[in-house]
Amino acid sequence: MIELKFLGSGNAFCPDGRLHSLVLIDGTLLIDAPPTLIPQLRRAGINPADIESLLITHWHGDHVFGFPFLILERRYISDREGEKTLDVHLHSGGEGRLRHLSELAFPGSLEEVLDERVTFHHRSDGSIQGSTNGWTFERFPVYHTPETEPHGYQLTHPSGLTLIHCGDSGPCAEIETRAPLADVVIIELGLPDYVDSDYHYKPTTLSKLAEECPETTFLATHLFTDSEGSGVATVPSLPSNVIEVSDGDGFVWSDGGLSRVSN
Ligand SMILES: [Zn+2]
Ligand SMILES: [Zn+2]
């Protein structure tokens, strides 16, 4: 059984009812570290020290500015004894960025813990270590603000599940060729159709992709819309294989199928 927990579902602007998009896999593997990471973990009842691996997609603040807070919390609160380590998977040059960010946030406090308790991995493919064994990953480039070195991840589980996290991206060949072969695609829906930018998926482009991949389930996150029930209309109708997630949504993959288990 594989568990996907959405600790946030909003784009950079945190629409009403949504914190920054964040997904936790099997309780130990996080994709990205948004500014509100610690409150998101607390709200979900997850101990920050239980995070074993972190995959970074790109350098926008809504995806990485929580990193120093995660390291700080573990050092002073949830892992004072220094018993836990964190594997961070990121593209080349990323280690320097995260070290610089940590020094800006908490000067003089994090360098030692970064040296001793964090392992930075730069390879673009490999296996995820830790208590949840078996995941392998491949990092692939996507189409987004080039200065952010945007990437997505294809994750494969021995059970047969192929899961793609697209990071932030507009339509691109990498996603279009991988999505039809994946079971589940976590994809952003960051902008409404009227905004003139192709660095994000929009309702029309996501609908087109989903219609071309009828066997794939799309979990739409990084949403520009206010959450349901907050009084503002959500996205116009999307194909039936697209699920708009909400903060707190949990999904389980078992016996070859995906089901929503909470929220
Ligand atoms: Zn973003
Ligand atoms: Zn971005």
Q: How do residues 85-132 score in pLDDT, each as one tens digit? A: 999 999 888 999 999 999 999 999 999 999 999 999 999 999 999 887
pLDDT at site 232? 59
Q: Measured in angstroms, how far is the CA atom of residue 120 from the centroid of ligand 2?
A: 21
The CATH class of 2-262 is: alpha beta
Q: Measured in angstroms, how far is the CA atom of residue 145 from the centroid of ligand 2?
A: 7
Categorize the per-residue pLDDT at 223 as very low, low, confident or very high, splitting at 50, 70 and 90: very high
The answer to which of 58-67, 131-140, 205-214 has the lowest mean pLDDT is 131-140
Q: Which parts of the chain are beta strand (E)?
A: 2-8, 22-25, 29-31, 53-55, 86-89, 118-121, 125-127, 136-141, 151-156, 162-165, 184-188, 217-221, 242-244, 250-254, 257-262
Q: Measured in angstroms, how far is the CA atom of residue 12 from the centroid of ligand 1?
A: 5
Closest ligand to the CA of 169: 2
What does DSSP say about strands 2-8 and 217-221: parallel, antiparallel, or unpaired? unpaired
What does DSSP say about strands 29-31 and 53-55: parallel, antiparallel, or unpaired? parallel
pLDDT at site 10? 97
pLDDT at site 214? 97
Q: How do residues 173-212 score in pLDDT, each as one tens digit? A: 999 999 999 999 999 999 999 999 999 999 999 999 999 9
Q: Measured in angstroms, how far is the CA atom of residue 141 from the centroid of ligand 2?
A: 13
Q: Measured in angstroms, how far is the CA atom of residue 144 from the centroid of ligand 1?
A: 10
Neighbours of ion ligand 2 (CB under 5 A): 60, 168
Domain boundaries, the chain: 2-262
Q: Measured in angstroms, how far is the CA atom of residue 159 from the centroid of ligand 2?
A: 31
**Three-state secondary structure call for residue 205:** helix
Categorize the per-residue pLDDT at 230 as very low, low, confident or very high, splitting at 50, 70 and 90: low
Q: Measured in angstroms, how far is the CA atom of residue 52 from the centroid of ligand 2?
A: 24
Q: Measured in angstroms, how far is the CA atom of residue 1 from the centroid of ligand 2?
A: 30
